[in-house]
Structure 1
Amino acid sequence: MYILLALVGACALGIAAHYMIGGRELRGVALTPAVATALAAVVYTGLQWLGVGEDSIWLWLASVVGSVGIAAVATVVIVASRRRSDAAAKAALGI
């Protein structure tokens, strides 16, 4: 049941990260929160299977903060890739 707290926290922080990262017009509104939530689920479940207890701060930091950090980095990489591909397409068209 505690996994829901981690998922809600990761989703909320993912929404905040979406608005803090530039290039919102180049990606969907749900990209960062969705990646953060999915990663939080995987990390939380994996750490639980490895025997990390729900009272451990490392479980919560890794699943909530770590997943949002990775989602933010993935979002920045996707935006940079999109800008490069848009620039290449404009150059190819002579715009």
Structure 2
Amino acid sequence: MTCVTDEAARANLARLASAGGHSFASLSTRIGRNVAYLQQFVKRGTPRRLPEDERRALAMILQVDERLLGARDPWAPEAGAASPGGASCSRSEA
């Protein structure tokens, strides 16, 4: 899965909340924010992106992949790159 745009994350949140029978107000309070927080995020675009901890909490509440709410794909090395055990970092003894 690739990351979604900020606009798609807002649309996904609106769709998922509605499908799950959740109001923006109830979800906002469940993540420790004021009742208007998620409504402002979806309708006004403020904040531009949800902070990581809030996004993760919403994904857990809604039981969805966090990337649907705007999380980026995790970084991974290119295929064929050294594995964690394959590279050595040694310092010279002086």
**TM-score, normalised with respect to structure 1:** 0.30
Determine which structure has more spread, i.e. the larger CA radius of gyration. 2
- TM-score, scaled relative to structure 2: 0.30
More helix by percentage: 1
